[in-house]
Amino acid sequence: MILLEEVWRTFQVGEAEVGALKGISLAIRRGDHVALVGPSGSGKSTLLHILGCLDRPTRGRYLFEERDTGSLSELERSALRQSRIGFVFQFFHLLSRLTAAGNVELPMMFAGVAPEERRTRAQEALRSVGLAHRAKHRPDQLSGGERQRVAIARAVVMGPSLLLADEPTGNLDRASSREVMELLERMNADGLTLVVVTHDPDIARRARRVIRLSDGTMEEEAP
Amino acid sequence: MRFLDLARFVAGALTGHRLRSALSALGVAIGVAAVVLLTSLGEGTRQYIVSQFSQFGTSLIGISPGKVKTFGVPGVFGGTTHQLTLYDADSLEHLPGIQKVVPVVFGQARVEAGGLGRDVYIYGVTHDASAAWKFPVAEGSFLPEMDPDRRASLCVLGPKLAREIFQGTSPLGKRVRIGGAGFLVVGVMEPKGQFVGFDLDDSAYIPVASAMDLFNLTELNEIDVLAASTGAIPGVVEEVRSVLTARHRGNDDFTITTQTEMLDVFGRVMDIITAAVSAIAGISLLVGAIGILTIMWISVNERTAEIGLLRALGLTRQGVERLFLLESALLAGAGGLLGLLCGLGLGAILTAALPGLPFKTSAGAAVAAVAMSLLVGLASGWFPARRASGLDPVEALRAE
Ligand SMILES: Nc1ncnc2c1ncn2[C@@H]1O[C@H](COP(=O)(O)OP(=O)(O)O)[C@@H](O)[C@H]1O
Ligand SMILES: [Mg+2]
């Protein structure tokens, strides 16, 4: 489902070129659960952004669902992000002026889904993360763990095949972290491909594959 | 993305910053209110002038001595060898398309009766003046039909003059002295009001030959010609020109003014004034636009992380651009609507306080004001919207 071939990503910082990814080759099968680990600045987020079609490799090929993303237009990549790929971030990125349901409805709104259908699907997504009773609450009335679960509901409401999570538990206490990870694992068990960036060895251990990045290069750890 | 959803989303973003949004909309509102007020005053003045002139009817043609190239007061530039005479007026009587010909002289003189007196305008005219000028008689009759070169000691008084010197009693059959000579009052005019500042009711009408004696004139100040219809005016103007030119030994030394021409000139003058006034009002609108631009710019910078998120959720660059364009159009449009209401409200208050104030808002101007504010919104939102849509989503997500 995902195939990276010799992917490089370099950034121009003043005169110098900084290599964030240096020749990453990686294949991820449908339904896989992959943990990305490694020290800060090793390129985990950069790799995740490329996988999510938010960023593009400087060099190399990235095939998503058998399509070469290098040849896709900006519009086509937006369409992929809209319907095939879900994102979860460390800092939740909920819009504070919208309710939980309103936040979950956002991607459906961009996709032009009719309001009544949006409401029922958002309600369903919130129920699947155990927050049906919080639909009318605004983010500032929710705990960190609840906020992240709303963000997860938003990420999966369009029925994507790939879920990318960048340190989803980085801002949560132990209990909330476990809840969030259990939720993600349950979705993975239902067939969703999951790539999680994490610093937590306990969380990494639960993944089927662990990929360690260091200074832009990768090595896969034996299971 | 559906437009209604877009609009609701944008409205939500705006009401999230209630005070800020209200203040920047207020900037546009003030501009639009100024535009509405000033253009309404302009339009009111235009309509006032049109009504002033059309009270004489549009078929009236004025002929004055002297050649005036541009619009102005005919005759003041002098130097003419030929003046207009009673014979000139007489020569126009039977031209085709002409209904009435009125020779006119005027001047100021004192009208006295029974110890009371007033200095007023005296018009020397003929019987036809009442019909040609559409000045009806209230009491008695107008000057009788007679040869224009005959003198007669008869006069007709304007209602105000009659009231002032006869103190409410009927002046019919009474004698007055005008410039020292005795006249018999045969009629009193109906009230006519003012004509661009002249009080038409505070005047008297006497036979033209008597007036020429009174003011020691040998020529006329003006000849008024009433065309049979507005359509006949161009033909009449040509006829009059050729007859008078022939009589004046080939000199085209007189000026023919038609009502439509006068209205045209006034219309053009008013257009210029309206344009100038609109430009001034437009400057305040520009200030409002800068306010919107500033707020939108700040808003894009504050909401960088939000923009990154929206892109991650699949909103296109174009979608982001539309979001911010609509936001600023909505802001300015709301300001425009508020400004229109304030302008109309202020106008209503002004006209209630000063009833004479010419104030007319045309529906077109109202629609244009709101449309203009929407345009202002789109124009001032364009730059911030471009910036928002140009943001790199990864960079944007990093902000926060
Ligand atoms: N926009 C950028 N400009 C310059 N350098 C960048 C940019 N984004 C990332 N980097 C660099 O790339 C490297 C990898 O960054 P990142 O993927 O965020 O690391 P991680 O998520 O593993 O902490 C870092 O050295 C970082 O400084
Ligand atoms: Mg990172």
Interface residue of B9, B313, B397, B400 to substitute, partner A, most A CBs within 10 Å: B313
pLDDT of residue B75: 46
pLDDT tens digits, residue range B164-190?
999 888 999 999 999 989 999 999 999
> Same structural domain for residues B204 and B327?
no
Rounded Cα–Cα distance for residues A83 and A160 (Å): 6
Q: What fold does the segment set A2-221 form as a domain?
A: Rossmann fold (3.40.50)
Question: Residue B101: what residue type?
Answer: V
The pair phi, psi for residue B202, each rounded to 5°, is: -105, 60
Name the residue facing B315 among A83, A110, A158 (closest C-beta).
Answer: A110
pLDDT tens digits, residue range A35-79?
999 999 999 999 999 999 999 999 999 999 999 999 999 999 999
Buried b / exposed e along A85-118 (16+ C-beta atoms within 10 A): bbbbbbbbbbbebbbbbbbbbbbbbbbebeeeeb
> Same structural domain for residues B270 and B214?
no
Interface touch B314/A111, C-beta < 8 Å: yes
Residue A198 — pLDDT band, cuts 50, 70, 90? very high
Range of the domain at B353: 3-52+264-398
What residues contact A109, with CB distance under 8 A and at least 6 apart? A118, B1, B2, B5, B9
Interface residue of A95, A156, A171 to substitute, partner B, most B CBs within 10 Å: A95
> Same structural domain for residues B10 and B128?
no
Select from B224, B249, B284 the last residue of a domain.
B224
pLDDT of residue B78: 46
Domain membership flag for residue B84 = no
> Same structural domain for residues B29 and B123?
no
Say how many CB pairs under 8 Å bridge A and B: 66
Question: Mean pLDDT throughout A205-217?
Answer: 94
Contact, A162 vs A133, CB < 8 A? no
Count the Cβ atoms, other than its own, within 10 Å of residue B166. Answer: 19
Residue A206 sits at the vertex; the CA angle it makes with A205 and A209, to the nearest 5 degrees, is 75
Residue B82 — pLDDT band, cuts 50, 70, 90? low
**Contact residues of A toward B, CB < 8 A:** 49, 52, 54-55, 74-75, 78-83, 87, 89, 91, 93, 95, 97-98, 106-107, 109-112, 115, 154, 158
Q: How remote is the C-alpha of B127 from its chain's centroid? A: 32
**Burial tier of B162 (Cβ tally within 10 Å: 0-12, 13-18, 19+):** buried
Question: Dmax over Cα atoms in chain A, in whole Å?
Answer: 53
> Same structural domain for residues B296 and B380?
yes
A144 pLDDT higher than 90: yes
A27 pLDDT higher than 70: yes
Select from B194, B224, B254 the last residue of a domain.
B224
> Same structural domain for residues B134 and B198?
yes
Residue B360 — pLDDT band, cuts 50, 70, 90? confident
Task: For chain B, give the number of residues.
Answer: 400
Mean pLDDT of chain A: 94
pLDDT of residue B193: 77
Interface touch B1/A112, C-beta < 8 Å: yes
Domain membership flag for residue B211 = yes
Residue A194 sits at the vertex; the CA angle it makes with A190 and A197, to the nearest 5 degrees, is 150
pLDDT of residue B399: 82
Domain membership flag for residue B158 = yes
pLDDT of residue B81: 53
Cα distances (angstroms) measured from residue B53 to each of A108, A136, B236, B266: 65, 68, 20, 10
Contact, B250 vs B244, CB < 8 A? no
Name the residue facing A79 among B9, B314, B397 (closest C-beta).
Answer: B314
For residue A221, the SS3 value is strand
> Same structural domain for residues B209 and B327?
no
pLDDT of residue B79: 46
Q: Residue B10 belongs to what H/E stretch?
A: helix B3-15
Residue B80 — pLDDT band, cuts 50, 70, 90? very low
**Contact residues of B toward A, CB < 8 A:** 1-2, 5, 9, 12-13, 16, 305-306, 308-317, 319, 393-394, 397, 400
pLDDT of residue A141: 96
Name the residue facing B312 among A75, A81, A158 (closest C-beta).
Answer: A81
Domain membership flag for residue B76 = no
Domain membership flag for residue B352 = yes
pLDDT tens digits, residue range B125-148?
999 999 888 889 999 999 999 999
Name the residue with tokens 């961009």. A110
> Same structural domain for residues B334 and B271?
yes
Domain count, chain B: 2
Q: ipTM score here?
A: 0.95
> Same structural domain for residues B11 and B134?
no
> Same structural domain for residues B19 and B109?
no
Domain membership flag for residue B273 = yes
Cα distances (angstroms) measured from residue A157 to each of A117, A119, B143, B313: 12, 11, 95, 11
For residue A20, the CA-to-ligand 1 centroid distance in Å is: 6
pLDDT of residue B41: 84
